[in-house]
Each structure stands twice: as C-alpha cells, then as structure tokens.
Amino acid sequence: MEPPPTSQPMTDRDSDITATVVRERTRLVNFIRRRIRDPDDAEDILQDVFHEFVQAYRLPAPIEQASAWLFRAARNRIIDRFRKKREQPLPDPFETDDDAGSEYRLDLALPAHDAGPEALYARALLLKALQDALDELPPNQRDVFIAHELEGRSFKDMVAQSGVPLNTLLARKRYAVLHLRARLQVIYDELDI
C-alpha cells in the first residue's frame, strides 16, 4: 500500500523547520545552559522549545522571525522552571548562608501557558513587563538579580568572583526585587490576578 501523497507546502514547511532547528540549535543550547546548571533540565527545556516551535510553525499564521521566537520561548521556559523551583518547599534559613529572606526574592506568579487565551495574554504581558523592568534597573542591580535568580549563582560565589562585599550585593538584589515587584504589581492589578 502506497503512503498518501503529501502536499508541497507541508514539505517546504518541514524543511524550513529542520533548517531552523539545525541552524539555531547550538546557539539555543548555549543560551539555555548559561542559565540552567543541570544539563538534563537544559535538555528538557530545549526539547520543549523545539516541540512548541514545530507546533507553532505549522499554524496558519507564520512565524516571522524564527530565531527571535525560539529565544523568547526558551527565556519563558527558563522563567517557568525557576518559578516551579520556587514553589517547592524552601530550605531551612539556618542551613544555608544564601537564603536572604523574602525581601530578596521576587516570587513571580505566571499563569500557566496551557490555561487558555486569556492566561496566555496575561502571561505575555507579565513577561514583557518583567523584561522592561529588568532593563530599567541600574546595571549593578540587574547583574546581581540575574546572577542569583536566573543563573542560580550563590552570593558567596559572587563575592569571591567580584570582590564586592556581601552586604553590597544583598542590597543591590533587594533594590532590584523592590523595583521589579512595584512594576509588576501594576500589571497584576490591571489583570486582576
């Protein structure tokens, strides 16, 4: 029995998908691994992003800039991963010198990406607001926040590498968190989340 004939546009789309994955894979892997320490978690995120890309690429509305789309999707998955980790029970504050208390954590609550169109819209607004708020921070505050929250680096490592005193790093992180909370609260209030 002969397989059913495939239409030409689907073949073109499949080859476009394959070419994009081959072209962007190395850069995307490096992007994810700089932010996720565990290689298995990084690989899971990569596979999720590619799966989501294939599904989105086959929709009637084409993806205009595939590279930008892939990196945005990877960034969203990384943020999701950190949010899920924050939902796990926190360690005893006396067991680690790195737990600086709630005033140093952002605790971003994002709607699930599979909770319907309104949730997707709210999620997109919150992620855009987060990126804009991060861009508004002074570089030293932004760097400490990203290093600790997104890259998972300890304050101890940052002190050793930069030579900046621990209290200075903690203060920078605290100011960053306060700014981000204030900026995101406006979106939460508008969306009534």
State whether residue 98 is helix, strand or coil: coil
Burial 128-166 (b: 16+ CB within 10 A, else e): ebbeebbeebeeebbbbbebbbbbebebeebeeeeeeee
Lowest mean pLDDT, pick from 21-30, 58-67, 110-119, 141-150: 110-119
* Domain presence at residue 148: yes
- CA dihedral (95, 100, 103, 106) in degrees, to 10, reads -90
CATH number (domain holding residue 178): 1.10.10.10
- Whole-number pLDDT of residue 73: 86
Mean pLDDT of the chain: 75
**Predicted confidence band of residue 103 (pLDDT cuts 50, 70, 90):** low
In a shared domain, residues 113 and 60: no
Q: Which of 88, 120, 138 is the last residue of a domain?
A: 88
- Whole-number pLDDT of residue 140: 93
Q: What would the mean pLDDT of 103-128 be, rounded to a whole number?
A: 68
In a shared domain, residues 68 and 112: no
Q: Which of 57, 88, 119 is the last residue of a domain?
A: 88
| pLDDT per position as a tens digit, 38-76 | 788 888 888 888 888 888 877 777 677 888 888 888 888
Domain containing 62 equals 1-88
Q: Which of 65, 88, 111 is the last residue of a domain?
A: 88
If one counts every other C-beta atom within 10 angstroms of the C-beta of residue 35, the result is 18
Most confident of 10-24, 87-101, 166-180: 166-180
- Whole-number pLDDT of residue 84: 67
Q: What would the mean pLDDT of 113-118 be, rounded to a whole number?
A: 66
In a shared domain, residues 84 and 111: no
Residues 190 and 71: their CA atoms lie apart, in Å, by: 27
Residues 134 and 142: their CA atoms lie apart, in Å, by: 6
* Domain presence at residue 95: no
If one counts every other C-beta atom within 10 angstroms of the C-beta of residue 177, the result is 21
Token pair recorded at residue 71: 């990196």
In a shared domain, residues 74 and 147: no
| pLDDT per position as a tens digit, 130-152 | 888 888 989 999 999 888 887 77
- Whole-number pLDDT of residue 124: 77
Residues 185 and 169: their CA atoms lie apart, in Å, by: 24
Lowest mean pLDDT, pick from 25-34, 83-92, 172-181: 83-92
- Whole-number pLDDT of residue 138: 92
- Whole-number pLDDT of residue 99: 41
* Domain presence at residue 93: no
**Predicted confidence band of residue 114 (pLDDT cuts 50, 70, 90):** low
Q: How many domains does the chain have?
A: 2
CATH number (domain holding residue 82): 1.10.1740
